[in-house]
Structure 1
Amino acid sequence: MNASRVPPPGELVATTLLEYLQHDNRPTFIIDLADANNINKDLAFSFCNKAFSSCRTYVALTTIHAAKESDNLLNAFHSWIVQRGDELYGDRHFQDVSWSATTLQKRWRIISGTPIVASSLNACSIDHHISDSASLYNYRKATKETLPLVPMAPSPYQRLVDEFDWGSSTLGPIVSWPKALKEIAKSVICNSKPVGVFWGPERIVIYNAPYAELIPSFHPQQFGRSMKTDFPYWDTYELVCQEVETTMKTVSYAAQPGPLMERNGSLHETYFSYDYIPLFDDGGKVQGIYYQVTEVTGEVLSRSRMTSLLRLSSVASRATDQKTLWKNVLHVLEDGKEDTPMISIHTVGEQMASISSQVHGDQAATTGEWLCQGSVGWPESNLATSNVLNFTSVRGYAAFVQKSLESLEPVVLRSSDGGLVAALLKGCQYKGVACTSLVICPLQLSSGIAVGSLGIVLNPVRPYDDDYKHFVRVMARQIEDALKLAVFLEAQEELLKQTILQAQVEQHSLSRQLERSVQKARESDLRFFNFAKQAPVGIYVLNPDGSIQFANDAWLKLIGISKEAVENNSLKPWLATVHPDDLQNVHQQWQSLKEGISSALHEWRVLRRSESNNSQPDVAYLRSAAYAEVNGDGSLKAVTGITIDYSIEVAHLRETNAKMEAALEAKRAQENFMDMVSHEMRNPLHAIIQCAEEAEDLLNQLQKAHKAASPPSIITQKCSAAIDTILYCGGHQKQLIDDVLTMSKLDSNLLTICPVPACPGSLIRQVLKMFESSMRASGIESFVQLENSHLLKDTQRTVSIDPGRTLQILINLVGNAVKFLADREKKELHISLAASVTQSKLPGIKYAPSSPESNNSVGTFPEFPKEEEVYVHFSVKDTGPGLSEEQMDALFTRFRQSSPRTHAQYGGSGLGLFISRQLTELHGGHIGVASKLDQGSTFSFSLKGRKLAPAASNSNSNNLIASQTLQMSNSETKAPPETQPERPEVSLVGHGVLIVEDNIINQQLLARQLRKHGMEVTCANHGEEALSILKSSTWWNGTSDDDSHESRRQYSIILCDLEMPVMDGKTCVRHIREWQKSGLLHSHIPVFAVTGNARAFLQNALEWGFNDVVTKPFGMKTLLPLMQSYIETDRTEIHEGNDV
C-alpha cells in the first residue's frame, strides 16, 4: 500500500526549529554567514544550545582570533565553518567531536556535533573530502583511525604516520591507546618545534616532522620503534630516562654535542639543548617521557669563537716582545682547536722595524727567508711547519704564502684543488674526519707591508661560512695589532738602551762643558766688572734695603755722592741729592721695584754742588732703567740698572720748543695778517663793485629814458665800457684774492670739505651763468650733457658733496676754457656730467699723481659706509689751441702755467689748476687732462660723494648751496631761461632789513642799493647798537621804553658784519638766539653773516647762530635772490603756524 503524505497537525507546525535544537543532546550552534565579523574575528553565535555551551569547543571558538595564528587545527576548523556555499562536503573532527553542517536560506549555517567514542570508531569510517577552498588542506580518505585525528597537509611524514602499522608495535592499534597517549601524540605531531615522546618501558618513540629533520640518518627507521632495541647509542639516553623516572622531575641538558649530521652534502657537527619532561598516569607513575630538542650549534660556535678572540686579545696585549707573543698566540689557538685544529706562523727573519722602513706602498717583505715561529696540531714533517720558508725559489708552502701576500687577503686552499694542496692536508684529521681546507692569512705590520703569515687548517665538520670567515679575519687583525705593539715595544726598548748609552756619553761631555762654562762665566764676570767700572754711563746694583752693593764711578758722579757713602754701607744715600719736587716720585718708583716690578725708564732731577763753588746747586736731569731681581718666594734680591745724564737733551728740547713757539707765533701772525688783508681788501673792493653796479643801473635808467629821443651818445657808450672794465677788474681782483687765500688755507691745512645735499647739474648751470656775458661777447657756444639715472637727477639733490668747492673747480676749468677760446676760429665748450658707484678713470685721460700736500692734509672727505659711496664725474672739453706732452706735464703744479707765453697772452696766477687738483684730492677724487696741439683739451675730474634718496627740494638746503656758491661768484649775469629753475618771485618792497656794518661807505652803499629795490633799511654801526634797535622792533616780546606797537619797526632779515668794534657779529647773533630761546623774541629771525674774511667757515657760522654767510665782495643780483628765499621760507612758516 502506498503511503500518503499526511499534513502535520497544527501544534506541530507551530513548533519551531530552535525549540528542537534547544532540547537536542548534541552540541549545536548557528552563525550568520552575512556577518563579516565571523570571518575576521571571534565567532558571534546567532544561537547555541545547552549542550554546546558546556562543550570546550565553545570556549575555543569564542577566542579564536587570539589563538588561530598559533593553532593550525583551530585555524582549519574555523575555515571549514565559515566556508561559502549551500552545502559543505564531509564532516570535520575537532576535539573528539565529529561536526556536520547544514545551510538554510543561503545565510544560516547550522553546525551540529556527535561525540566520538572508542566503540564507535571501529564501526564507522570518517571520510575526508577535497575542498574547493584554498584555505583547506587536501586530505585522503581512511578506513582506520590515524594520527592526528585532525586534517594535516600531505607530506612524506604524514604518509608515514597514516600508513604506519601500529598494530605490529607494542603500542597496538590507535583505538587501543589510552587517551593520554592520544593527546600527547597529537600534541607532538602538531608542534612546530622538534619534540617527541618515549612511551612505556620499551621507550617507543613518536616524534614530529621538525625532529625528523634533525635525525635524517635515523629517520624513518626509528619512528614508532623501541629505542632500547633499535637505537645503537641508547645507553646514554636510557640513563637520562631513568633519572627522570627516579626524580620525577624535568631533566635538562644545555649545548650538548650532537651527532655528525649530513647537511648540504657534507657532515656537520651539531649541538643541542634537551629537556626531558615526565608524563604521569592517573596513579602518579611516569608512563612516558616528553622531550623537546633545540639546536644551538650557531650559539655554541659563536660563544666559542668569542671566547677565543677575548683570550687572544688579552694575552696578546700583554706580550712585550715577539717571542712571548707567538707563544701566547699558539697557546690560545691550541685551546680553541674546534675552529683552528692546525696552526702555523711564519714571519720575516730580520728586525721588523727595519723591514717596515725599507719597504713601501703595497710591497711585502718576501725577499730572503722567513722563519717558523711555531705550529700546533700538524702531522710531523708537514711542509706547513718547515722552519724556513725560502722566497728566492718559490715552491711548496711558500708559493701559497706568496699568493696571499700579493693579494693581502686570506687565501683558501682546498684538497679538491689537487696536487700540492692535497699533499699539505694529507694526514690532517679532526674527530676522525679528514681536513679538506686550509686558509692562509697575511700579517701586516703597517698598511700594505706584510711581514708574516698565519696558516689555519679549517674544521672539516664546520661550514666555512660568513661567521667562520669573519672569525678568521678578526683573529688575524688581533694578531697584527699585537704584533705592531710588540715590535713597537721592542723598538722602544732598543731606543731606550741607545738613549741611555747616548745620555752617558752626553753626560760626560756636559760635565766637561760645564767646567768650561764655569770658567768662561768667571772670565765673563770679570770682563763685565771691568767694563762696568770703566763704562761712561752709570751702572749700579742696590740691595733690598737701598744700600749700594756696586756702583761705578760714573754713577756716583751722576748721583752726586762720594765713595765713602758706599764704603760705609749707608741706607739709600742716593736719596740725599734728589730734587725735592721729584722725591715722592722716586719713592714710588723704589717701592715698585721692591714689589718686583721692573721699570722701563724713570726720569728725575738731582741737585749737584760744585766742590769749589758754594753757590746755588746745579740741576741735572737723569734717566734710569732698572731691573728687579727676585727670589723664589717673590721677595726682592737686588736691583740692577743703568743711569745716563740727559741734561743736554733737555736743553736742546727747550731751545727747540722755543723756536717752535716762535714759528707758530709767526704763523699765527701771518694768518692774522692774511685775515686782516683779506678783510681790508674786500671792503674797498666791495664798495667799488657796489658803486659800479649802481652806476650801471643809473646808466641803464638814463638810456631807457632817452632811448626814444636819440641813440646812445659816445659818452654813454664810453661810460658803459668803463663800468664793464671796473666790474671785470673787480672780479679779477677778487679771484686773485680767493686764490691766494685758498693757497694759504692749503698750506696751513685749514681747508676743509663740507658735504651737503646738492644737485650737480645745477652747479654746471650756475657756472655757465657766471660766464654768460663773456661767452656771449666772444661768441662761444656751450653744450651740456647731463646723465639722468638713479644716481643723478637733473633737478634733484641725489648726492652729498661740497657744492662750493665743486663750483670753484668748475669756475677755474671753465674760465680757462673761455680765455683760450677767445681767439679760436671754432669756439665750442662741452660740459658733461655722469656718476658711478666705483672710482673709474676715463680712457685717454692723463691723471695727475696724488700730491703730498693732500696726503698730509687734515681736511679730507668724511668717511661713510662703502655701499653709500658714489663718484660724480665732470668733464670740460674745449676746441682751444690744445697742449703738448711737455705742457701737460707742467700743469697742476704751484705757480706753473703750460708755457711762459701763456701769462703774457692770457694772464692768470698759475694757481687755478693747482688749487683744483688739491680740492679734488681733498674731496676723495682725482683730476686729469687729455689734449693734443690744435685739437683742443679735455679736463676731467671726479669727486667722491654719498648717495641720497631723491627727494623734493628743501629751502634750507637750497639756501646753504646758494650761500656757498655766492662766495665763488665773480660775475653777475642773468641765467638763460632754459637753465634757471622756475619759482615764484617774492617782492622785497616794504620788507625791513637791518644792516649792521662798521664801514660807513659799505654801509651807505648797501643801504642805498636795497632802498632802490623798495626795502626799508635801518643801519647799526656795531652789534650792541643792533641789539638796541631790535628791542624796539616788532620782534621784541619783552619790556621796552616805547611800548606803542605802531612806533616799532618791522624787520624781515638782518645783514650783520663779523668784525666790528664794541660788539662783533658773533657775539651779537648769540644774544639774538638766546633771546629767541628765552621767549624775548616772537619767533626766529634770519641773520646773514657779511664778512670780508674768507676764513670764516660756513659750518662755524651756522654753529654760532647765523642762517647763512655772504662773503665780500658780492653783487646785488646774487644777494637779493638769497634774501628772497629766506623771506619766502619765513613767510611760509608763519602762515603754517597761523593755520595750526
Structure 2
Amino acid sequence: MAPDPAAGTEARGVGAPAPADVFTGGSENGRLMAAVDWASTPVGPVETWPASLRYAIRTVLASRFPMILTWGPEYTQFYNDAYATLIGAKHPGALGDDLRITLAEGWAALQEPVERAMATREASWIPQLLLLLERAGYREETYFTVSHAPAFGDSGEVAGMHAVCTEVTRQVVAERRQALLHDVSTAAGRREDERDLAVRVCAALAEDPLDVPFAAVYLTGQGGPGLERVAATGVDAGRLPASAADVGELGGVAADGLGVAGGPFGDPVTDAVVLPLTGGTGREPVGALLVGVSPARRLDAEYRTFHELLAGQLAGAVVDARAYASERARAEALAELDRAKTTFFANVSHELRTPLTLLLGPISDALAESGTDLPPGVHDQLTMALRNGQRLQRLVNDLLEFVSIEAGRTAPVRVATDLAADTAELAGVLRAAAERAGLTLTVDCPPLGRPAAVDPRMWEKIVLNLVANAVKYTFVGSISVTLTAEDDEVVLRVSDTGVGVPAAELPALFDRFHRVVDSPARSREGTGLGLALVRELTELHGGTVAVESRPGVGSTFTVRLPFGEPDTDLPPPPSTAPVRAAALTPWDDAPARRSSGADGAGPLGTVLVVDDNADMRAYLTRLLAPWWTVLTAADGEQALRDVRTSRPDIVLTDVMMPGLDGFALLKALRSDPVTASVPVVMLTARAGQEAAVEGFDAGVDDYLPKPFESAELLARLRAVLERTRGRRETASLSGAPAVPRPLSPPRPRAGEPADLPLVPGRAPAQEAPDAGTVSETLRFPSTSASIPPLRRRLRSLLAEAGLDDDRAYDLVLATCEAATNAIEHAQSPTEPVITVRVVVRDDAVEISVHDTGQWRERTSSMDRGRGSMLMSAFADITVVPGPAGTTVTIRSPRPEG
C-alpha cells in the first residue's frame, strides 16, 4: 500500500523546506551536500529528515561565518563553505561523516565542551582553544575561538550540536612571537660582553620552545678564524659543531639527528635554519644563529620573517656590544696613555728641576752679588734669563702638582690665614702688568671677621692664575678682585671686561690643556693648565669654582671655599708671589722701538720683529741691533700695519701669536701688491721637516725652528736680504717684476757679509737629452740656505715639464731631503757645493744629488734615518758613494696619461 502524501507532510512538519530545497542557496557546500547519498548515512534520506534539521542546515549554509552542525548520536556533520576552509584536506570527505572520526586527533580537546553543551543545554564559549589538526599533512598547532550549543529536534529534544567557530592561530602565534622578540631585546640590553649577551639571549629563547625548539649562537672573532659556538639552548650542545668555517657550513647541520622534540605535541624536530648575523648592509657577518623549526608550524613567509627579526635583534646587540667594548678599550687605552703621559711629565719635570736649579741659582747669585758691577747689557740679559727660567720652573711645578693630585698624594695643609690681606697682596702683584696693558685693577678685600683655614701655597696659585688669566684676555676696561664672606663660605670673584667665552666652550673651560679656539689674547703662550689647576686646588679644599661669561662683555670667575678648620697651628709659609709675577705675564709689553745707536737704516737694513713674547722681542732686538734697524710688533695685526707704513727690508715673525698668527700675516702680505715682495723669515717652536714644508709652501723665504743659534739667524737674514736684492736688481735691469728664481745665489754687495758665495766654474758635462726630454743641472753652495731656492726651482721646473702637482710635491720633498743630507753629512768636501741634475722623460723622472765630500761612518750606506725613509716612500733611491763624493739618485716612474 502506497504511503499517504498528506501523512508524510504532516510528519515532516507543515511549511518545512522540501527535500529539493534544503541545499539550495548557491553555496559550494550546498551543491556538494546535495550530491551526497544521505540514505547511506545515519540520518537517512533527506525526505525523512525532520523540519528542525532542514531549517538548521539551511541556516548553516546561508551563514558566511564558520559553522558546523552535528545530528544524532553518530555526530553526523553538516558545515558551510567558511568552515570547509578550516579543515583543509579533510573537506569534502567530512560531509556526512562522524565528527569524532574527522577530528579524531583533536577530539580530546573538543569532547568535553561538546558533550557538556548537549547535556546541559547551555552554550559554551572557549577563546583560543588549542587543537591538533592534520589538515595539511602534518600535526598542526592551531587555535580556535569556538562556541558549542545544543541543536534541538522538532519535539524540543536535543538532537545534535551546533558550533560557531573562527580560527585565531595567526593572532596567537604572532602575539607569542612578538613577546619573544621583546624578551630577547630586553635580555640583550646594552651588554659589553658578547658571550654573556649570547647566553642571556638563549635563556630568553628557551622561554618559547613552541617557536624556537632549539637555538645556538655562533660568533666570529673568538680567538680563531670562522665561527665559534658560544651559547645554545634546547639541545645537547655536544651534538652541535663547536665551530664552523662560515655560515654555509652550519647549513649542513642535520636537525633530525639532534634528538630534539618540539611543538605543543612533542613531535621530532626535523628542520633548522641558519641566519647570518650582519650589522648592516654590506658589512661582514659577526656571527650566525642556528634555530630549529617547530614541527607543528609550516615554515611560511611569516615564520621566516620572525626568524629574520630574531637574527636582526641579536646581530644589532652583538654589534653594539662590540662597539661598546671597543669604546671601552679605547677609553682604557686613552686612560693608559694619559697615565703614561702624566708619568712622563712627572719624570721629565723631576729631571728638569736639577738643571733648573743649577741655572737659576747661579744667575740669582750673580745678580745678587755683582748686579751693580755688571755692564747694563749683561745685567739685562741675566735678568731676562732668570725671568724665563722662573717661567719654566712654574710650568714644571704645575705639571708635578697635577701628577701628585692624580696620584692622590696632594692634600692641602690648612692654616689659619688672614685671607683678605693675602688676597689683596697677591692681586697687587699683577697691578703693574695690568696698568702697562692700560687696564684698571680694582681690589676690594675687606676683613672677613675671622681667619680662614686654607693652604696658602694653593690659595696663591688660585688667585694668581685667575688674575693673570683676566689680564691676558682683557684688552680694554677693568679687572676687579673681590673677597667676601657669605654664610660659612669665603667667596672670591675675579671679574673682567675681556673677550668673554662662548657658551659652547664653558663646560670644558676647566679641563686640562683646553684652549678656546681663535680666542683673542695677549699671547698664545700657555699650557692650558692654569684654570684646570684652579679647579683641582679648589676641590681639594672642598670648594667649587664656576664661571659666567658672555663674548664681548667679559667673564666672572667665582671660587667658594668653606672657612674650615686649620690642620696645624704653624704659621703660614712666606709667599713667593713677587718672584712668580713675571712668570705669569710673558706677554708684558714694551712699545715698538728702533734699536739704539742707529741713525736711519742700519748697515744691513730694517727688520721688523713680530713676537707676542716681550722677552723674545727684547732678545732679538739686542741680537740684531748692531747690524739692523729693529722695529718690534706684539702681534700680526700690528705688524701688518707697520709693514705698510715703514716698509722694512725683512719681516722676522713668530708663527703662533694671538689674533693674526704668522701664517695669516704671511698670507696678508703676499696678497697685497704693495707688500708682496717683502721677504719673510719665520721663527717657530714647531720643529721638523713637516713644519718647514708647510712654511715654504705658504711662501716664506726662510724658516728657522727654536731654539736657534744667533750666528745662524744672522746668516740666514743676510742671505734672504741678499737674494731679495739680487732679484730686485735683475728685475730693474730687465724691466720685469722680481721673480724668486735663484738658480745660483747672487754675488754679495761690497762691504757686506757674504752668506751665499757664487759657485765658481761650470756645471759638470751632461749628455745631450733625448727629444721630448727636459733636463737641467743646478749647482748650489753646500749650506742649508740653499734649500729654499732649490725647492722653488724644482717646483718651477717640474711644473714646466707638465708633472702633476702631487708627484711634483713628493719629488721636491725627496730631493730637498737628499740635498739636506748631502749638506749635513759630507765631510771635507773638495768643493763646497752640491750638484742637482733633473731629467724629466716621458716615462720617468730622475733626479740626482751629488756632493764632493766623504760621508761619516754609518752602520750601512743606506742608513739615513728618517730622511732615507721619507725619500723611499716617494721613489726608488740608489746611493753610490765614491772617492769623488756621493751621488743619490731618485727615480720615479711617470704615469701614462
Shared fold (TM-score, shorter chain, > 0.5): no
Tell me the TM-score normalized by structure 2: 0.37
Tell me the TM-score normalized by structure 1: 0.30
Q: Which has the larger radius of gyration?
A: 1
